[in-house]
Amino acid sequence: MSSAGWQPVWWTNERHGSAWERAKEALRRDWEQTKSDLHLGGRELGQDVDDTVKQAIGTAAMPAPHATTPRDPAAPEGGAWSTGLRWDDAEPALCYGYCAREEFGGKHEGWDSALEQELREEWERRSDVGCQDWPDVRAIVRHGYEARGARF
């Protein structure tokens, strides 16, 4: 899954691992842009949520790591999500949410309380040393889940 090594019971590299590898760099760019937007460090990349999703699903090219995302003048403005975590701390939660959408998207098209409870219980059973508490990663997991579900 990520450098942490923990994987949910439903995880398979064939189904989830390759999807995460495709999306990881787009979400890393989104992470840097959000930190910049909130004046918490990061880099201004001209990245919005539409760019992130298009890059993650392969319908838009991935810019070079420090390059600004090319603007489509007709594109709507996107939103941002926030946290003070570093990428290495956020990646497991983003990956978990992103890949959970593949697993649970048919049953839970959108984020709801039943899905959150299921994901929370599984997250809290993790045995990783230094694993973040659910309240600290909830918004990040949700962001990953919703990024995977966006359609263009």
Structure tokens, 102: 């593949």
Both tokens of 123, joined, read 């997250």
Helix (H, G, I), strand (E, B) or coil at 33: helix
What is the chain's percent helix, strand, coil content, to nearest 5? 55, 0, 45
3-state SS class at 135: helix
- In this prediction, residues 106-117 reach a mean pLDDT of 90
Write the DSSP symbol of residue 109. Answer: S
Instruction: Choose between 75 and 107: higher pLDDT.
Output: 107
- Note the pLDDT of residue 84: 54
Average the pLDDT over 110-139 and give the result: 86
pTM, rounded to two decimals? 0.58
Q: Mean pLDDT across the chain, nearest whole number?
A: 75
Please give the average per-residue pLDDT across 2-14, as a whole number: 74
Alpha-carbon distance 8 to 144, whole Å? 15
- In the chain, DSSP finds a helix count (H) and a strand count (E) of 5, 0
